[in-house]
Chains A and B, each alone.
Chain A
Amino acid sequence: MSSTCNEFNELLLDLAYDELDAPTSNRLLQHKDQCASCQKAWGELMGVRNVARHYDPPTVPDHFDSDILALARKTAESFTSAQTNDRRAGTSVPAPVLKPPSLLEKIQAFILRPAIIGTGLAAAAVLIAVTTIKNDAHNTMMEPVNGAPFVGGKPVAEPDALPSADKSEAKANLQTKVQKSEAAAEDNTVPAAPERIQKAGPDYEPLYRQQAAEADRKSPLGQLKTARSETENSVAESKSATPRINKNPDNLLQQKSAKGSLSNATSRGPASHMDDIGVSKTAPTSVSKKKSAASYTSQEESLSAMEAPAPSRKSGAANGEMDAAPSTAAESERDDIGPSTFESGLAAYNRGDCKTAIALFSAYVDAPVGSGENVPMATHYIARCEKRTGRCGKAVIHYEQLLNQFSTYSKRADALYEAAQCHQKLGHGDRAQTLLEELSLDPDWRAKAQKMMSRE
């Protein structure tokens, strides 16, 4: 093997991807034409590249375009306003850094906000003024110590106690000080603060905060937080309402009718179904899906809080104590079925042990109280296990249960598709058609749904 062969091998990738200068490239290509081994190496590489060229990239979604471009406009505006401010200030500082602030920065920003400073200064001024006026008023009422009046809390020498030549000057000084205090009190009244805030408050800061908040909201974590906060608010509202309801049978009836109005709601005991948010456990799909999932969770929580309380809570509920801790042995037994059961089911499913998986997921789903965070997903897994083991008849029962009871389940599209497959196998063409029609409303699944429908 010649030194040129070594060089060729060393620079083969650069040559293939056109990263060499023209003279080197020509020289190596000439060598390749004369050298069998280098020609072979070249042929192999270009053969793979020829195949790789046939890669058909997936269609790019456009559902987030408007969000991004709206954020871009806001950011551009903030850049413009920041530059305008810089020009006004006569500085040439580059555009503001929009990185998320640290906790310390947030605290500093809060403390050093113009509004806080302005209010603080105003408050201090008012305090001084009030103290001065109070002392002044007090002095007029109080008998002076040794005949000396008080100004600013300190005794001031009475003009009479001074040499006669200085008396008039001291009196004038005293009057000046009192007048200054009064003027300061007038200058530092509360209405002055908003003016200062308006003058000092830069446009950039609110925009920056809006952007940070928006970015926060858009992130999966932010959406989870929003969903959770909505859920918490809902639960808090329900909890605060429940004791009153329990005391009044009429209200209880109203609550029950309200519960009935929630279509397709689960008949299970209180369960948070936080998993349905679809962010913590599953991959995020689209903003709308997440929002609906969040609202569903909120609805579920409200429903759970409105449900007739579990036995252990009954005594507490009667007294309006909804947060009574579980105390019976039966409850502690039920507590054993929880997230770990779900995780064990998942592990069994992942290793292909469908029988164990079905048993564990069923126990999880059937547990009466408190374990239902992942009920929709567990139901989905049961259905999949049944389908996987060829029991489509049983699978469709679970799919239908999932689709009917958890209308905003984050993996609804997957469930629709799989249920339709089962129904097709069972010869339930109409039901499969209905499910596929719903599935075709999802742009990401439309092609697949239509393909399946055309097969029917």
Chain B
Amino acid sequence: MVRKTDEELIAMFQTGDAAAFEALFNRYKAPIFVFLVRQCGNRDIAADLTQDVFTKLLNRADTFRHQSRFSTWIYTIARNTAMDHVRKAKHRNHASLDAASSDDGPALIEKVSDDGPTPERGSKAGELQKALATAIDKLPVDQREVFILREYHGMPFAEIAEVVDAKIGTVKSRMRYALEALRLELHQYEEYAKELL
């Protein structure tokens, strides 16, 4: 069976095929959730925001005119949703209960990266995981989003430029800065990472 493109699926949904949306939902739920986790730094919030993104998408599904890629559209919605959340969170001034807790409670990075005990826990692989997540979270938002979209979502630079509403040169520049920052943070794991590959 030939895999239908995103654009074909959304077109089918626009004609009333609910199953087509389900296919899109299954295709994008995880990437959007992962993108939002890294953008807002909290799994619970990211889950709520993911729900918001798909609700917005449904409410605007008919406005998709096939002039851009579906992925560009949904990531733009996701990015705007995350930015709205961050903006509101700043105003709330209650970050300390939502974000990292400096005492023994679960820290932000634990909430994000730790899904419970794994065989690798305590091993170098687990350490690498944690260091990587921390390094990504440390990146400035504009660099982080570009890095995540290119590295983990395979989005071409031109498309990222559309999503983040910036010039392609700016996007590449942010990507270079992000990679350089990560290299400095994670250089000690390079050899180990090579061994694992």
Query: Which of A90-98, A111-119, A305-313, A322-330 makes up part of the contact surface?
Result: A90-98
Interface hits, B105-132 → A, CB 8 Å: 105-106, 112-117, 125, 128-129, 132
* Chain B interface residues (CB < 8 Å from chain A): 13-18, 21-22, 25, 29-30, 33-34, 37, 42-45, 47-48, 50-52, 54-55, 58-63, 89, 92-98, 101-106, 112-117, 125, 128-129, 132-133, 136, 150-152, 156-157, 172, 175-176, 179, 182-183, 186-187, 189-190, 193-194, 196-197
Q: Within the complex, what minimum Cβ distance (angstroms) separates B192 from chain A?
A: 8
Residues in chain B near residue A387, CB distance under 8 A: 103-104
A57 to B32, CA, bound (A): 11
B25–A49 CB distance below 8 A: no
| A8 CB within 8 Å of chain B | no
CB-CB nearest in chain B for A415 = B105
A414 to B55, CA, bound (A): 28
A57–B16 CB distance below 8 A: no
How many of chain A's residues touch chain B, expressed as a range? Answer: 35 or more
A94 to B58, CA, bound (A): 16
A284–B48 CB distance below 8 A: yes
B101–A72 CB distance below 8 A: no
A414–B18 CB distance below 8 A: no
B190–A450 CB distance below 8 A: no
Tell whether A47 pairs with B125 under 8 Å between CB atoms, given A215-B55, A283-B89: no
| A50 CB within 8 Å of chain B | yes
B15–A83 CB distance below 8 A: yes
Task: Name 5 A/B residue pairs within 8 A (Cβ), A-sorted.
Answer: A219-B55, A283-B42, A352-B102, A377-B94, A417-B106
Residues in chain A near residue B175, CB distance under 8 A: 13
* Chain A interface residues (CB < 8 Å from chain B): 13-14, 17, 19, 44-45, 47-61, 63-65, 67-69, 71-73, 75-77, 79-80, 83, 94-100, 211-212, 215, 218-220, 280-286, 343, 346, 349-350, 352, 377, 380, 384, 387-388, 411, 414, 417-418, 421, 444, 446-448, 450-451, 454
Our pick among B22, B47, B55, B97 for the contact of A63 (Cβ within 8 Å) is B47
B183–A47 CB distance below 8 A: yes
Tell whether A48 pairs with B129 under 8 Å between CB atoms, given A95-B62, A280-B92: no
Our pick among A98, A350, A388 for the contact of B60 (Cβ within 8 Å) is A98
Our pick among A58, A76, A418 for the contact of B112 (Cβ within 8 Å) is A58
B48–A281 CB distance below 8 A: no
Tell whether A48 pairs with B186 under 8 Å between CB atoms, given A79-B16, A346-B93: yes
